[in-house]
């Protein structure tokens, strides 16, 4: 432990990753490598400082920054109040994921014993600390050295008066989290998602947090009381497994590139940046992928036992033999492999025999418990927008417009991935889109997809497979499809599951979807849709799109006569229908689903301009988005802002959203309660 500059620069303590040096009022963490992205699902942080402070007359000016425990207490004994509070600080710069991917944050302290009375059943609150404090000098009256010539008292507005009594102090009155204390020998946990999001989004300074008893005495009541004193392990304790922690839970986005993309190994326009294997899956915003190339965390070698072309490291063959379309030899399609779509779920279709191999389902499969399959409402969509050299000019509109009116591949407004919300209503599809909004461009997807913006169409990268995963261990079953331009012997219309022996067909395009055998099923995702046989119920469906007809394969229509701009659905009963009331404006190349809207908003959302208050500037933005019940906002309005102001997530900004906005409305420069909307 040691002295740190709070609400500004941070030092980091990491157990097991290096050497922690204690003593002489300093702590030093030494580790060999730079910060790496965490494993999928969660990242655990440990305090860079922890201390407890004591209102008892005997410990009033004492510092406990080197103590092996942290304490929380309230009591009235011997004519005095005896309260104890815990202070913690975490370095949020170590969180390596975007805030809009975070699903929650949990604070945990291990209760190893108690003194006097048992605190089990007490309620402890978490508050946000609002000013810097010193771990090895802070005590009950002062944030800094009480013995110095110029101490910094907790009540800074009462400078010179040690007035940090119950009810006072430099912490926000808002209770960010509450929990009931468990029995000794258990972890005490708080859901601190709201506080962590404020820190990460920069709407509040990160000066740490304070834990106190919910019913703390503020004055001696005139009688003696019980004295429940909880004793938690601190970061000075020898066993790191019992240290306080902050666990940030998040989802991961995954992607694959289409054959012929600028940074993909078989790009015919070789400019020295070819590195991605189009058959592999990579992490969104992952570590750099540079020539001669690197396999993804999911490698197509696991499907075929050997790595099909093109495979890293790049073998340096000339373009004419590296990309089948560029060579003008469609028969070469079968020698390559391009992953076209993928979905990770938590049930094996093959092992559970959910779908018969040779016949369509007689009726839809009713909804079952799953952490990896979601309702078909919140989508992220990537469009087919590559027209690299060597590819037929008619394959893709070079300057196709997204539904938001943005041009692909040639301007700073590139939208490789868009968000969309489907307006689900009672009854079967088709459904209208409630809204569409920009989500990510190439460089947001991955740092190695430069340049961004593209200076020419040959610089364009095409994201052709997307998936959102809450945790790879939780969703271990890998489903995938092959692009007709690189099948390596698979059927481009079928969905396969990776089994111990390789690829196993689990959904047949002809048998289960009612498509022609020439169809190339492009993007796909399993989802819950309203069960047509059981009103009010949900059933398992596959959502999918199809590729456009390839002019290099005369006599074969890869679209199967369907619209490449449409999302279709099937209950695997031998037929397929459109999911959307209207097709989108471009060829859909990849999409994925999530249970919530994927958007990075200020907190609270009423702070539309993200400046820390809710004032008339935010109201003016609200007016530009106002649409009325059931109506989308004007196409001239800022879709990202309107998406955030749609606080009830029903696809419009109406009187209901205005009511939530009013709860938060204050004035310029007035900090807003993050929970103002309820």
Contacts of 397 (CB under 8 A, 6+ apart): 586
Across 203-232, average pLDDT: 89
pLDDT for 97 beyond 80 = no
Say if residue 191 is in the same domain as residue 271: no
pLDDT of residue 141: 82
Per-residue confidence at 528, pLDDT binned at 50, 70, 90? very high
User: Mind listing the pLDDT tens digit for each residue in 249-305?
Assistant: 888 889 999 887 888 887 777 788 889 999 999 998 888 999 889 999 999 999 999
Residue with tokens 């410990």: 59
Say if residue 589 is in the same domain as residue 629: no
Measured CA angle at 234 (ends 8, 95), to 5 deg? 40
Say if residue 219 is in the same domain as residue 283: no
More confident residue, 202 or 416: 202
pLDDT for 556 beyond 50 = yes
More confident residue, 25 or 112: 112
Spatial contact of 136 and 11, defined as CB atoms under 8 Å apart: no
Measured CA angle at 31 (ends 27, 32), to 5 deg? 155
> Which candidate, 418, 428, 356, places its Cα nearest to that of 383?
418
Instruction: State the Cα–Cα distance between residues 612 and 511, nearest whole angstrom.
Output: 56
Q: Omega of the bond prior to 415 within 30 degrees of 0, cis?
A: no
- At CB < 8 A and 24+ separation, what contacts does 8-13 make? 8/132, 10/48, 10/91, 10/93, 11/48, 11/91, 12/48, 12/91, 12/94, 13/46, 13/47, 13/48, 13/235
Instruction: State the Cα–Cα distance between residues 261 and 385, nearest whole angstrom.
Output: 10
Residue with tokens 């205005």: 658
**Burial class of residue 500 (count of CB atoms within 10 Å of its CB; 0-12, 13-18, 19+):** exposed
Across 143-158, average pLDDT: 68
Say if residue 452 is in the same domain as residue 396: yes
Note the maximum CA span of the chain: 95
Across 647-657, average pLDDT: 78
Instruction: State the Cα–Cα distance between residues 432 and 650, nearest whole angstrom.
Output: 12
> Which candidate, 571, 534, 634, 579, places its Cα nearest to that of 377?
579
pLDDT for 33 beyond 60 = no
> Tokens in use for 144?
């800094």
Spatial contact of 99 and 197, defined as CB atoms under 8 Å apart: yes
> Tokens in use for 302?
């696991």
> Tokens in use for 514?
């009612």
pLDDT of residue 602: 62
22 in any annotated domain:
no
pLDDT of residue 625: 86
Q: Which of 315-329, 586-600, 664-678 has the lowest mean pLDDT?
A: 315-329
- 3 state DSSP class of 659: helix
5 in any annotated domain:
no
User: Mind listing the pLDDT tens digit for each residue in 597-635?
Assistant: 665 566 677 888 777 788 888 898 888 888 888 776 776
> Tokens in use for 142?
């002062």
pLDDT for 401 beyond 80 = no
Per-residue confidence at 546, pLDDT binned at 50, 70, 90? very high
Say if residue 235 is in the same domain as residue 279: no
Instruction: State the Cα–Cα distance between residues 345 and 373, nearest whole angstrom.
Output: 7
Cα distances (Å, whole numbers) of residue 493 to 114, 501, 560 = 63, 21, 10
8 in any annotated domain:
no
> Which candidate, 333, 329, 263, 335, places its Cα nearest to that of 294?
263
pLDDT of residue 57: 77
> Which candidate, 285, 638, 584, places its Cα nearest to that of 463?
285
Taking the mean position of all CA atoms in its chain, how far away is CA 201? 14
240 in any annotated domain:
yes
Instruction: State the Cα–Cα distance between residues 535 and 9, nearest whole angstrom.
Output: 57
Say if residue 428 is in the same domain as residue 481: yes
Say if residue 479 is in the same domain as residue 523: yes
What are the backbone dihedrals phi and psi of residue 199, each rounded to the nearest 5 degrees, phi first? -65, -50
109 in any annotated domain:
yes
pLDDT of residue 525: 97
Mean of per-residue pLDDT scores for the chain: 80
Instruction: State the Cα–Cα distance between residues 644 and 660, nearest whole angstrom.
Output: 12
Across 96-109, average pLDDT: 84
Say if residue 245 is in the same domain as residue 257: no
Across 230-255, average pLDDT: 94
The domain boundary, picked from 231, 250, 269, lies at 250
- 3 state DSSP class of 479: strand
Other Cβ atoms within 10 Å of 334 Cβ, number:
17
Say if residue 378 is in the same domain as residue 309: yes
334 in any annotated domain:
yes
What is the domain range of residue 162? Answer: 37-250
pLDDT for 166 beyond 90 = no
Per-residue confidence at 405, pLDDT binned at 50, 70, 90? very low
Instruction: State the Cα–Cα distance between residues 260 and 386, nearest whole angstrom.
Output: 8
Question: DSSP assignment, residue 390?
Answer: T
Cα distances (Å, whole numbers) of residue 473 to 165, 284, 346, 480, 631 = 48, 18, 9, 18, 40
Say if residue 660 is in the same domain as residue 535: no
Q: Has this prediction a pTM greater than 0.85? A: no
The domain boundary, picked from 569, 594, 619, lies at 594
> Which candidate, 643, 603, 612, 660, places its Cα nearest to that of 102?
603
Cα distances (Å, whole numbers) of residue 386 to 28, 259, 330, 432, 584 = 50, 9, 18, 27, 17
What percent of the chain shows pLDDT beyond 90?
Answer: 39
561 in any annotated domain:
yes
Say if residue 672 is in the same domain as residue 634: yes
Spatial contact of 240 and 47, defined as CB atoms under 8 Å apart: no
pLDDT of residue 598: 62
Query: Total structural domains in the chain?
Result: 3
Q: Which residues pair with 344 in a beta bridge?
A: 478
pLDDT of residue 597: 63
Cα distances (Å, whole numbers) of residue 231 to 52, 120, 343 = 10, 12, 46
Say if residue 198 is in the same domain as residue 346: no
Instruction: State the Cα–Cα distance between residues 244 and 70, nearest whole angstrom.
Output: 9
Instruction: State the Cα–Cα distance between residues 140 and 162, nearest whole angstrom.
Output: 8
Measured CA angle at 378 (ends 375, 380), to 5 deg? 125
Residue with tokens 């890869």: 558
pLDDT for 32 beyond 60 = no
The domain boundary, picked from 576, 594, 612, lies at 594
Across 464-470, average pLDDT: 89
342 in any annotated domain:
yes
What percent of the chain shows pLDDT beyond 70?
Answer: 79
């Amino acid at each position: 432990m040691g002295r740190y500059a709070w609400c500004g620069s941070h030092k980091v303590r990491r157990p097991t990753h290096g050497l922690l040096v204690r003593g002489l009022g300093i702590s030093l963490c030494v580790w060999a490598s730079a910060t790496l992205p965490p494993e999928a699902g969660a990242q655990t942080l440990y305090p860079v400082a922890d201390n407890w402070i004591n209102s008892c007359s005997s410990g009033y000016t004492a510092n406990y920054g080197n103590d092996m425990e942290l304490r929380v207490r309230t009591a009235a004994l011997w004519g005095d109040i005896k309260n104890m509070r815990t202070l913690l600080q975490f370095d949020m710069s170590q969180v390596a994921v975007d805030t809009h991917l975070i699903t929650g944050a949990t604070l945990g302290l291990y209760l190893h014993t108690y003194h006097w009375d048992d605190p089990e059943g007490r309620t402890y609150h978490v508050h946000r600390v609002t000013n810097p404090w010193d771990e090895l000098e802070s005590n009950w009256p002062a944030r800094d050295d009480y013995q110095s010539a110029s101490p910094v008292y907790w009540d800074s507005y009462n400078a010179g008066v040690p007035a940090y009594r119950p009810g006072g102090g430099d912490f926000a009155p808002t209770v960010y989290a509450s929990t009931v204390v468990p029995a000794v020998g258990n972890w005490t946990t708080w859901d601190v998602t709201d506080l962590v999001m404020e820190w990460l989004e920069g709407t509040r300074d990160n000066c740490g947090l304070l834990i106190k008893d919910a019913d703390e005495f503020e004055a001696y009541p005139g009688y003696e009381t019980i004295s429940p004193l909880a004793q938690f392990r601190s970061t000075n304790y020898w066993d790191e497994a019992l240290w306080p922690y902050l666990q940030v839970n998040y989802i991961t986005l995954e992607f694959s590139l289409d054959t012929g993309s600028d940074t993909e190994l078989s790009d015919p326009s070789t400019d020295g940046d070819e590195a991605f294997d189009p058959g592999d899956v990579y992490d969104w915003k992952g570590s750099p992928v540079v020539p001669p190339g690197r396999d993804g965390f999911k490698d197509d070698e696991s499907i075929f036992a050997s790595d099909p072309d093109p495979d890293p490291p790049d073998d340096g063959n000339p373009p004419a033999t590296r990309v089948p379309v560029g060579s003008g030899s469609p028969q070469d399609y079968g020698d390559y492999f391009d992953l076209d779509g993928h979905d990770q779920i938590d049930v094996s279709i093959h092992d559970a025999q959910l779908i018969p191999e040779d016949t369509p389902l007689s009726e839809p499969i009713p909804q079952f418990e799953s952490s990896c399959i979601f309702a078909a409402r919140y989508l992220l969509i990537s469009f087919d927008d590559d027209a690299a050299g060597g590819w037929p000019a008619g394959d893709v509109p070079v300057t196709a417009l997204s539904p938001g009116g943005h041009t692909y591949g040639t301007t700073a407004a590139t939208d490789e991935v868009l968000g969309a919300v489907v307006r689900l209503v009672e009854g079967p599809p088709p459904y209208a889109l409630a809204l569409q909004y920009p989500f990510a461009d190439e460089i947001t997807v991955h740092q190695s997809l430069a340049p961004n913006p593209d200076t020419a169409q040959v610089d364009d990268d095409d994201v052709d497979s997307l998936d959102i995963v809450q945790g790879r261990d939780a969703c271990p079953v890998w489903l995938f499809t092959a692009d007709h331009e690189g099948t390596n012997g698979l059927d481009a219309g079928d969905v396969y599951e990776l089994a111990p022996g390789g690829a196993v067909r689990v959904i047949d395009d002809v048998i289960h979807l009612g498509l022609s055998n020439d169809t190339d099923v492009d993007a796909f995702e399993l989802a819950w849709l309203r069960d047509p046989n059981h009103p009010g119920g949900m059933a398992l469906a596959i959502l999918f799109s199809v590729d456009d007809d390839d002019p290099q394969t005369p006599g074969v229509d890869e679209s199967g006569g369907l619209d490449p701009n449409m999302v279709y659905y099937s209950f695997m009963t031998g037929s397929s229908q459109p999911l959307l009331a209207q097709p989108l404006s471009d060829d859909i190349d990849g999409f994925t689903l999530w249970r919530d809207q994927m958007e990075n908003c200020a907190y609270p959302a009423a702070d539309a301009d993200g400046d820390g208050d809710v004032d008339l500037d935010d109201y003016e933005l609200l007016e530009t988005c106002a649409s009325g019940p059931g109506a989308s906002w004007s196409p001239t309005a800022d879709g990202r802002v309107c998406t955030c102001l749609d606080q009830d997530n029903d696809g419009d900004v109406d009187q209901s959203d205005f009511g939530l906005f009013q709860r938060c409305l204050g004035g310029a420069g007035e900090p807003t309660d993050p929970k103002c909307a309820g």
